[in-house]
Structure formats: structure tokens, C-alpha cells
Chain A
């Protein structure tokens, strides 16, 4: 059964279907000559996956700037967690829409001028501000290579692309402490082994004061919200740019961050710890 991504194609900026290289709206599983299910797919057997998991883990620990190794580790170890995530998305009506339409968050699909013009405190405006301040773009996420199922590969890709939005939602910057807090949230929500590993090893690199902040307030907050919050992958962010950030947080059952980590103006800024 082939379903087409109608509504997404009609966005003002257009939609480059082929150029993303991974998974677009087509649902039929066509096997290529070498057994690959999607353009960036490299079929691997379990021995190779095990070797990849070990190798990429070691490489990522030795050189934490090798984001591609972290990505490979996630793919090689995340099969069960991805299945759980996918089932959770299927049970949520909005998540089900995402699984059928398979939108991708890329700079080429975002209407930047419109988003800039949005009022303060909206998801779109705060997301753009986050991208500018931390000098990141959603296009630097590596393509999924080692997941042997088209739909699960899309779930993995969606998880990667939602990561930046998660920073915005949780109000965490991209420094080490912010990243660890987001990892704790993700570990509690998704259960991906790579997130759990990152959550356990990340705090080792923090200074004592930051570790204290993490353990006393940020950490429990992140874990709590990860467990009780709605699945963040099930939110169709592309339709919600105009929504107010605080409203979105209430809808997702996420409390505002207890500590103010952004140095500049923020609608949910708190300079004191909330109980």
C-alpha cells in the first residue's frame, strides 16, 4: 500500500523529495540490488552490528567529537527501543500521522522569514533563536545507515531531528550540562541504549558545581518529565510553529526548567529554583 505525503508537499517552500537521501513519503519497501531498503541503507548482519557497536562505542569515548560514531552506536544498539517508540507513536493519533507522512526537518523546508516574524514565546521563534545562538543547523544530522527497517529508520531519523527542538522545549543550551540534561530526558523517554550510555557517562565530564546542579534539580526534573511527558516524537512540530511555548509544554506534560541556563531573555526564565 503506497501512501503519498500530500499535505507536506504543499508547504510554501516546496519539498525536495529526492535530495534528503533517506526516507520520504513513499511507503512501499523496494529492495535494491544490494538489499538496501532506503538510499543511505547499508545492510549488516548481527556480527557486523555487534562489531560496530563495540567499535563505535570505543571511538566515541576516545573522541567525543565524533558525532558519527555516536550515531552509529545508536543505530546498532537501538532495535528494541525503536520498536517500542514506533508502537508508542502508532498509538498516538498525531504520531500516526507523522509515521504515514514522514516529514523531515531541514532548513530547506522551513519558512525562515515567516518564522522570524512570529511573536516572542512561540515555538518557531524560540527554535530559530536557539539555532542562531548556538550556531547549529538541523542539516548536520547524519543519515541513518544501519537500521534494517524503513519505518524504524525513519523513527531514528525523526529522533535525531527532534533533538534540537527538544533543547528548545526544555530550555537547555548546548553546553555539556544542557546536553546531559537533555540526554537524561531522552533516556527516560525513549530507552535507547545510546541515550542511557550517554546519560551515565556524560556527568563524568562535568565540573563539581555543575554536577551538583544536575543531581539536585536538573536531573530529577528531566527524568520525571521524560517518564510522564507525552512522546516528543509524536508531535507534528511543523504544524505548531505558531503555538506558544508554554502552552505546548503544558500539553506535553513538561514542566518548565527549574534552573535558568540561557544567559539571555527567555519567556520561561527563572532566576531561582522552583520547587
Chain B
């Protein structure tokens, strides 16, 4: 309800200021108290002429989302194979590090935005389940000779089964979700996981819903990073944590040279040979270069309203985990 009142106020404010000829539906709905004024001012300054980057290409904003959609639609089938080939399997370690930083307790709700094929969600469920089992084992070990009352309590808690750790995988691209669902079926994960089609700039969830919000290797593909951060603030509970795993800037110049050479020479070739798609992987390496560096992104997260924002560099800065709390 709060969202709709804000929407109404935003609409009346925008209508009264300037002529907005072309404002797409998604933008009008967006709101979050600190930023709505700046957001609206941005729209009224020549909305038709706004352009953004698509890799090293400049495209109109409206076109970027569609082109990114097409890229991921075409790579969805070979996405996991390509990840392994391009990063030589290291992406698994990066995602494991994200889970270690997250250190989720059993019973939390996770929103995995741009979750695609579900890597983070699967790891989250596995982590919480094994942690729950470990807690159960510790509990069992600590109780020596249980009295009948303790036994009765023990049976009672056992009957409730696993605590409800739930993960929601949200992605704008149906093909990626389809691949993710197939993987879940193959791995035999049936409970605690849901698949939702949604735009990270306009999430189909109410406010204050989730304990943890993650976006892994997705935020560099969105058209408006600020809006994604606003939405993250909105859907997180107070005390909730925002985590972002993304490619970032390498500070070491030698490593940077090697990384650039590898990115621009090898990766599109791998894309052509394995997936038959050079252009999508050219876009991928270019979009990494266009993403802001660690400090700039940290400031953007702080501007959105998160506190205690910090980042951890992995593999020399090739990848970085940003973390913030909603208070």
C-alpha cells in the first residue's frame, strides 16, 4: 500500500512539472523516498535522447534491456558450460566465497535476483541444510541422558522437519529460469525453491520481505543500477543484507594486462567454439569494462541507503563482493 501511495504522489509530481512524452511504465512505478525527486528530475530532461552503453556500443536506453535479453536467451543453453570454460572452474570458488561471506543461518529467506540458472540459490539451500544438520548433531551430542521430557521435546521439534529456509530465484529471462529449473530437477531439489520472472528494476514483491538479497554477475547488465539498488532496499527487511558478486577492476597492472589479453582474445573465441556465439561473449567482456570500480560502486550502494558497506576482492580484484545492511 505504501508503494501505491508513493506511486500516486510521484505521478502527480511528475505530471505537474514538465511534459513527459515518453516515460515507460516501469519507471513511473519506481519510488523510494530519498531518490524519487532526483529520479523524476532525470526523466524530465529529454527522456527520448537518453542513451546508455551496451558493451562498448552506445544504444538508446529502451533498447538495452531488449538486447541483453536476447544475449541471455541465446547463451542460456550453454551458460554453465561456458562459465566453467571461461573461468576454468574458478567461478565455483567465487560463488562459494559469496556463501561464506553471507554465512546464512537456517530459516532465512533469500532473494536471488538475476539468479538465472540458480547457482547461488542451490548453494544457499545446501549451506543452510548442512548447517541445520550440524546444529542438530551438536544438540544431540550435548544432551547426555535425556529425561522423558527432553525426549518428548526432541520428538516434537523433529516432527516439524527442516526449518523453512526459502530461496526465490528471480530473473527477467525465461530461458535462463528454464535451464535453472531443469538443473533443480536433476539435483533433486524440490522444496524451498521458487522461480519467479521479474525485472530487477521493478521487483514483483512487497516491501520488507527478504532477509538476504543477492545479485551475482547480474547487476552490470541492468540499464539503471540505482533503481536496482532502490528495489533491493525496498524488498529487504530491516536488518536484511544486500550482497553483490560482480566483476570489478583489477588494480595490479601486470594482472590487469594478462586479464585484458585473456578476456579479449580467448573469451569470444571460446564463445564461438563452444556456444557458436561470438557476439554475446564480446558483449560480456565489454560490459565488465563498463561497470564502475569497487569504490564507486560502494558509494552507489551507500547512496541507495545501505549501511556498513564493504567490499572483498577475490582473485586480485577480478571479482568483488559488495555487502551492505538495511537498518
The interface of chain A, by Cβ under 8 A from chain B, is: 33, 42, 45, 47-48, 51-52, 55-56, 58-59, 66, 68-69, 72, 145
Contacts and interface: CB of A to CB of B under 8 A. Distances in A.
B274 interface: yes
Contact of B269 (A55, A66, A68, A69): A55
Given A48-B265, A48-B268, A66-B276, 19 more contacts: A33-B57, A42-B278, A42-B279, A45-B265, A47-B265, A48-B269, A51-B265, A51-B266, A51-B269, A52-B269, A55-B272, A55-B273, A56-B273, A58-B273, A59-B273, A59-B274, A69-B276, A72-B273, A145-B278
B270 interface: yes
Question: Interface SS of chain B: helix, strand, loop or mixed?
Answer: helix
Residue with the greatest number of chain A CB neighbours at <10 A, chosen from B57, B268, B269, B276: B269
Given A68-B276, A145-B278, A55 B265 contact: no
Interface of B: 57, 265-266, 268-270, 272-274, 276, 278-279
A72 B268 CA distance: 13
A52 B266 CA distance: 9
A210 to B, nearest CB: 31
A145 B271 CA distance: 14
Nearest to A58: B273
A84 to B, nearest CB: 26
Nearest to A42: B278
Contacts, number: 30
B265 A52 contact: no
A55 B278 contact: no
Residue with the greatest number of chain A CB neighbours at <10 A, chosen from B57, B265, B268, B273: B273
B268 A55 contact: no
A72 B273 CA distance: 9
Given A42-B278, A42-B279, A145-B278, A72 B272 contact: yes
Nearest to A55: B273
Report the 8 A-B pairs with minimum CB-CB distance, sorted nearest first.
A55-B273, A51-B269, A59-B273, A68-B276, A47-B265, A52-B269, A42-B278, A48-B269
B237 to A, nearest CB: 46
A166 to B, nearest CB: 25
Contacts of B279: 42
A68 B266 CA distance: 18
B273 A69 contact: yes
19 contacts: A33-B57, A42-B278, A42-B279, A47-B265, A48-B265, A48-B268, A48-B269, A51-B269, A52-B269, A55-B269, A55-B270, A55-B272, A56-B273, A59-B273, A68-B276, A69-B273, A69-B276, A72-B272, A72-B273
A145 B282 CA distance: 14
Contacts of B268: 48
Nearest to B269: A51
A143 to B, nearest CB: 12
Nearest to A57: B273
